C-alpha cells in the first residue's frame, strides 16, 4: 500500500493499483507538498495519537494533584479545626475526595 501524504496538513491519498506518484502534481490544496510514503501507519496519525495521549495524561495528572491537595486540606481542616479524631478525618477526607475525583475523571476525560 502506498500513500501520498501532505507534509503540511497531513491529508493523504491512497494510491490505487496501477497509479504511481508521478501521475500526480504532488501539490496539496493547502499549499504543502505531497510525499510518497509506503507505510500504512502515517507519521501524522502517530503524531496526533501521541499528542492526544499527552493531553489526557496532563488532564489526569492535574485532577490527581488537585485531588491530593484537596484531600490534604480537607484532612487538616477536619483534624485541626473540627477536631475530629485523626482516623475519622483521614477516612472522611479520603471518601469525599475519592468521590469528587471519580466524578471529575468520568466527566472531564
Binding site residues, Zn ion, CB under 5 A? 6, 8-9, 28, 30, 32
Q: 12, 11, 14: which is closest to 2 by C-alpha? A: 14
- The CA distances from residue 94 to 24, 62, 82, 104, in Å, are 62, 18, 16, 15
| Per-residue DSSP letter, 22 | G
Nearer to Zn ion, 9 or 82 (CB): 9
At closest approach, how far in Å is the CB of 55 from Zn ion?
A: 23
Residue 63 CB, shortest distance to Zn ion, in Å, is 36
Q: Cβ closer to Zn ion: 6 or 78? A: 6
CB closer to Zn ion out of 46 and 62: 46
- Minimum CB separation of residue 34 from Zn ion in Å reads 8
The SS3 call for residue 18 is: coil
Could you give the 3-state DSSP secondary structure of residue 15? coil
Amino acid at each position: 500500500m502506498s500513500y501520498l501524504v501532505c507534509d503540511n496538513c497531513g491529508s493523504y491519498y491512497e494510491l490505487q493499483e496501477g497509479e504511481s506518484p508521478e501521475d500526480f502534481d504532488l501539490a496539496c490544496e493547502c499549499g504543502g507538498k505531497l510525499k510518497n510514503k509506503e507505510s500504512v501507519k502515517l507519521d501524522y496519525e502517530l503524531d496526533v495519537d501521541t499528542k492526544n495521549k499527552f493531553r489526557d495524561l496532563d488532564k489526569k495528572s492535574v485532577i490527581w494533584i488537585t485531588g491530593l491537595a484537596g484531600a490534604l486540606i480537607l484532612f487538616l481542616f477536619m483534624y485541626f479545626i473540627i477536631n475530629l479524631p485523626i482516623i475519622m478525618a483521614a477516612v472522611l477526607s479520603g471518601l469525599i475526595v475519592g468521590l469528587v475525583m471519580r466524578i471529575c475523571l468520568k466527566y472531564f476525560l
